[in-house]
């Protein structure tokens, strides 16, 4: 019922703004269930496929950036910041991970020049220091990517992918999110090095990652080479999740 109601709200920015809290809560919950656990505990109606769910995810978040601020608040509620050291509260590891993934995904759809992104940036830097240390966090890679997108600290160019071994769906979700980050922005010279490191790391899996990840990684490479990847055909979601 909740799902169908959100589908009805669909492309109405005012309605999303009005119902942003329940919508964001729903997506935090559903993302945790669907993307991270892969346990199929989510009792979907037979006609609501994962593909449709992810399409809805994008439709809602591309229509309105309203849920992004809620994901940021959710993330703050799961972590403690002591000088530059960021740690998760005991028992909050999964929550921080889901919130950071949702926040990164929401950020990837926001126009980089928009006032919304500026607001989120202000809220973020008010809590997280520029030289924040995320070592040891379960959401290390997602929050490092968020930090790189929002703060653009040069130090984060070198963040480490060696221990990034997500499950398949999370990897797909993450790769597609990063490809959207790249597509949404203009890169007059180069895309950040950490993105290219992710690209090389992603193909190093055994067995090979799904084709969806390969296409998203190629999109990042193409952007760095100066190809126009801004059109949806370069790394759209549609159709590819259906093959999972």
Partner 1 sequence: MRRFASRSFGFEREVRSSLTAVDLSNRENSGQPDVLSLISEKLETLVTTADLNQISSKYKAITAFFPYAVWQSKTLDAFLLAVRTSKRHGFMWRCIRPLIATLLNKESHVSLKQAVILASPHLRWRDFPNSKELVKLLAAAASAIPYTEEVGMSVVDTLLQIASNDSLRSSIPLDMWSWLNERPSLPAACWGRYLGSRQNVVRSIRRLEDVETLKSFLLLVWSEWDGLYSEGLQEMSFSIQLELGKPEMWHHREDLLRHLDHILGQLDIGTEHLRQRDPDVNESDIQRRKDQYETLREVLLEVEMEATEILTRKPLRLAVPFHLLIPMDRHEVQLDIYVCNSSPVSIAAYPGYS
Residues that bind partner 1 (CB under 8 A): 190-191, 193, 196-197, 199-200, 203-204, 206-211, 214-215, 217-222, 224-229, 231-236, 238-240
Cβ contact 36:170 at 8 Å: yes
Structure-block tokens of residue 143:
């929050």
User: Which residue, 40 or 208, is less far from partner 1 as judged by CB?
Assistant: 208
Rounded least distance, CB 49 to partner 1, Å: 16
User: Which residue, 146 or 234, is less far from partner 1 as judged by CB?
Assistant: 234
User: Which residue, 100 or 235, is less far from partner 1 as judged by CB?
Assistant: 235
Rounded least distance, CB 177 to partner 1, Å: 17
Rounded least distance, CB 241 to partner 1, Å: 11
User: Which residue, 91 or 233, is less far from partner 1 as judged by CB?
Assistant: 233
User: Which residue, 44 or 161, is less far from partner 1 as judged by CB?
Assistant: 161
Structure-block tokens of residue 120:
């989120």
Rounded least distance, CB 59 to partner 1, Å: 17
SS3 150: helix
User: Which residue, 2 or 242, is less far from partner 1 as judged by CB?
Assistant: 242
Q: Residue 141 belongs to what H/E stretch? A: helix 140-150
Phi, psi angles (nearest 5°) of residue 155: -60, -30
Structure-block tokens of residue 30:
């559903």
CA pair distance 55, 241, nearest whole angstrom: 9
Rounded least distance, CB 171 to partner 1, Å: 12
Rounded least distance, CB 108 to partner 1, Å: 17
Question: Terminal CA-to-CA distance of the chain, rounded, Å?
Answer: 25
Length of the chain: 244
Q: Give 195: exposed, middle or buried? Use CB within 10 Å, 0-12, 13-18, 19+.
A: buried
Q: CA torsion 150→37→53→199, rounded to 10°? A: 50
């Amino acid at each position: 019922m909740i799902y169908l109601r959100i589908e009805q709200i669909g492309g109405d920015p005012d309605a999303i703004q009005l119902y942003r809290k329940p919508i964001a809560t729903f997506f935090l919950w559903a993302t945790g269930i669907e993307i991270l656990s892969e346990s199929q505990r989510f009792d979907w109606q037979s006609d609501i496929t994962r593909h449709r769910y992810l399409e809805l995810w994008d439709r809602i978040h591309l229509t309105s950036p309203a849920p992004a601020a809620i994901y940021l608040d959710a993330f703050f509620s799961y972590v403690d910041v002591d000088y530059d050291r960021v740690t998760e509260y005991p028992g909050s590891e999964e929550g921080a991970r889901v919130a950071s993934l949702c926040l990164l995904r929401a950020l990837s759809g926001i126009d980089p020049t928009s006032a919304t992104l500026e607001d989120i940036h202000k809220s973020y830097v008010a809590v997280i220091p520029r030289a924040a240390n995320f070592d040891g966090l379960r959401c290390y890679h997602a929050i490092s990517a968020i930090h790189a997108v929002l703060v653009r600290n040069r130090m984060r160019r070198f963040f480490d992918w060696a221990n990034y071994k997500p499950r398949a769906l999370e990897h797909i979700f993450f790769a597609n999110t990063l490809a959207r980050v790249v597509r949404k922005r203009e890169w007059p010279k180069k895309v950040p090095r950490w993105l290219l490191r992710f690209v090389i790391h992603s193909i190093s899996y055994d067995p090979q990652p799904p084709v969806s990840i390969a296409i998203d990684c190629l999109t990042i490479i193409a952007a760095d080479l100066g190809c126009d990847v801004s059109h949806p055909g370069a790394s759209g979601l549609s159709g590819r999740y259906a093959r999972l």
